[in-house]
Structure 1
Amino acid sequence: DAPRGLYRRLVENSLAIPGEEFGSLVSAASESGVHMVMGAHELIGSTLYNTMLFISPDGTFKTHRKLTPTYTERLLWGMGDGSTLEVVDADFGVLGGLICWEHWLPLARAAMHAKREVVHVAQWPWVRDLHQVASRHYAFEGQCFVLAAGTVLTLDDVLEGYRSLPGVTAGGIEMLSSMGCAGELLQRGGSTVIAPDSTYIIEPLFDVCGTIHATVDLDLVTEGHLLMDSDGHYSRPDVFSLTVNTAPMQGVRFVP
């Protein structure tokens, strides 16, 4: 039926690490000399994960898998564990990120703030008003720069992508078409760059595809900690504490 067929297509187009497609991403980051952060459907075994990729210019990489898939996402994605709650030590400072509603997991935020991010990437489907609020709150709470990333996507984009695959079915077209009308924006973008004081460095870009650029003053991170250090002078470890389990969670272990 259509739901199972569409799920199979999603699995077939997911990212394997290592793999040919992933190798192309690593090469692109190395050749461009940039830190690449992007989302992907990652396939591990027979389970999909909502995964955030951090690829460094030297070809090394880290992954973060969404800890708690949101609402109906649990039909598709497995749960990540603490082993991928990682950051990257970049030349400009600590680079980290969270996915979508992870920004409303208070303990996940506390764990990330303890890692002292300088730049945080907040990945959203699109950065609607409430997501803007969460991103700006994160910037102030963590005293870091936040790059909030959202996509612009129309129903036509979805159907074009599906039709580019072999074995298109009428049921699949019908199910995907039920998401909206021809030409309708399903995701409205809203990507932006936010300063540690929660103000916009780049105003959100809605409804059009585009690339945003910003030059940031890293000294603002140090200066901001005069007022707020949620893992330092503005914390109470004598009252509150958090333990993060960073061990990979495996249901089956084979031991000699």
Structure 2
Amino acid sequence: MQRSRFKAAAAHVAPAYLDAPATADKAVAIIAEAARNGASLVVFPESFIPGFPVWSALYAPICSHDQFKRFAEASIFADGPEIDRIRQAASRHQVFVSVGFSERNPATVGGLWNSNLLVSDSGEVLIHHRKLVPTFYEKLVWNPGDGAGLRVADTKIGRLGGLICGENTNPLARFTLMAQAEQVHISSYPPVWPTRPPGDRDNYDNRAANRIRAAAHCFEAKCFGIVVAGCLDDAAKASISAGDSRIADIIATSPRAASFFLDPTGALIGDELTDEGIGYADIDLDACIEPKRFHDVVAGYNRFDVFDLTVDRRRIAPIRFGGGHLAEVALVDRDIQPTEEVGP
């Protein structure tokens, strides 16, 4: 039976940078703390494991091979031990968990995806999403994903969906989730998003951009929003800058992202964080109903005779072997599939 009210937690926290096992340990501890504080849903930032590759913005491609090698080696498989620990923690504390991670591709040692998992309160994977299009300099790190994760999970705390960072700028991806009766939208972001040198007045204000995108989606979908960004601790900054004072200055002066919550009108609710910590908000799903009378873009406030959207949710693989070689297919397609159909 669905509950209309629950508490959500936003983990505005730093990873143990490039240390996947230690970051998983930290996630498990945060899940336990949030559960003790009454949270039914705990959300972690984009690429929380093993950290966000900020270095891809700060070094020329020909100067970042070592950074990429370290990042690739620290990235994890979707069915690896780090994810297994998080799934066990979700089950043990009976909370839903959303976690971002850099996913290794089993078909190639250099292939990575920017991925996110939604895990149920029994430890089952409900949604495994790979970011459709890496944004700007992320293209030097991650490969494009596919539509297999464009799903909304029907759970006891409501219909949960989410997108990663710049995907929240894609109106078709957002509409795909709206059209699956999404009630809570999760947006995950990096700790900083440098686009220009320090002091440039036209530097990208990721805090303002994230709020605009999240508020627009909540207003259009008439859903609640959970926006979660990461943090960089001193160890991460030192690892990324590698003793280069110019790089360190860019990291220090780039606008830090915030974590916050929004209601179905796009208004702020609950905690807002820019320093490391766990924020909380109370969510009442009944608040999604009245605004739908004004403009419901997946029902009466649309023209389906004029517009037609088709979404391909097949999981992409580089090769499929015939002749019954199931082990080979499993290797290339290695993926955590939803335990059951979670949305229309």
TM interval, short-chain normalised = 0.7 to 0.9
Tell me the percent identity. 32
* Structural mapping, 1:164-203, within 5 Å: 173-174=242-243, 178-181=246-249, 184=252, 186=254, 188-202=256-270
Q: 1:168 — aligned with what?
A: none
- The amino acid that maps onto 1:51 is S
- The amino acid that maps onto 2:214 is S
Aligned length: 244
Is the 1:153–1:186 Cα contact (8 Å) retained in structure 2?
no
What is the CA–CA distance in structure 1 between the aligned matches of 2:105 and 2:302, rounded to whole Å? 38
Is the 1:153–1:188 Cα contact (8 Å) retained in structure 2?
no
Is the 1:82–1:248 Cα contact (8 Å) retained in structure 2?
yes
Q: 2:228 — aligned with what?
A: 149
Shift of residue 2 of structure 1?
5.6
Q: Is the aligned partner of 1:39 residue 2:108?
A: no
Q: Unmatched 5+ residue regions in structure 2?
A: 1-61, 192-205, 324-344
* Structural mapping, 1:18-57, within 5 Å: 18-45=79-106, 46=108, 47-57=111-121
SS of aligned partner of 2:161? strand
Q: Is the aligned partner of 1:58 residue 2:58?
A: no
Is the 2:76–2:103 Cα contact (8 Å) retained in structure 1?
yes
1:51-98 CA distances to partner (integer Å, 9 max, x unpaired)? 111111111112111001011111110111111212222102110100
What is the CA–CA distance in structure 2 between the aligned matches of 1:135 and 1:247, rounded to whole Å? 27
TM-score by length of 2: 0.66
SS of aligned partner of 2:133? coil
Match of 1:82 among 147, 151, 164: 147
What is the CA–CA distance in structure 2 between the aligned matches of 1:54 and 1:43, rounded to whole Å? 18
- The amino acid that maps onto 1:84 is G
What is the CA–CA distance in structure 2 between the aligned matches of 1:59 and 1:48, rounded to whole Å? 24
Match of 1:109 among 142, 152, 174: 174
Between the two structures, name the one with larger relative contact order (CA 8 Å, sep ≥ 6).
2
Is the 1:193–1:203 Cα contact (8 Å) retained in structure 2?
yes
Shift of residue 37 of structure 1?
0.6
Is the 1:49–1:80 Cα contact (8 Å) retained in structure 2?
yes
The CA RMSD over aligned residues, in Å, is 2.1
Q: 1:158 — aligned with what?
A: 236
* Structural mapping, 1:245-256, within 5 Å: 245-256=312-323
1:125-171 CA distances to partner (integer Å, 9 max, x unpaired)? 245101100000000111100001112325x23145x49xxxxxxxx
1:192-246 CA distances to partner (integer Å, 9 max, x unpaired)? 110001111135322x112111112211111221112111111110000100011
Q: Unmatched 5+ residue regions in structure 1?
A: 164-171
Is the 2:237–2:251 Cα contact (8 Å) retained in structure 1?
no
Is the 1:142–1:196 Cα contact (8 Å) retained in structure 2?
yes
Cα distance 1:255–1:67, how it changes in 2: closer, same or farther (>3 A)?
A: same
What is the CA–CA distance in structure 2 between the aligned matches of 1:93 and 1:179, rounded to whole Å? 43
- The amino acid that maps onto 1:49 is W
Cα distance 1:182–1:111, how it changes in 2: closer, same or farther (>3 A)?
A: closer
- The amino acid that maps onto 1:196 is P
1:12-36 CA distances to partner (integer Å, 9 max, x unpaired)? 1112121111111111111121111
- The amino acid that maps onto 1:189 is A
Is the 1:100–1:124 Cα contact (8 Å) retained in structure 2?
yes
- The amino acid that maps onto 1:131 is N
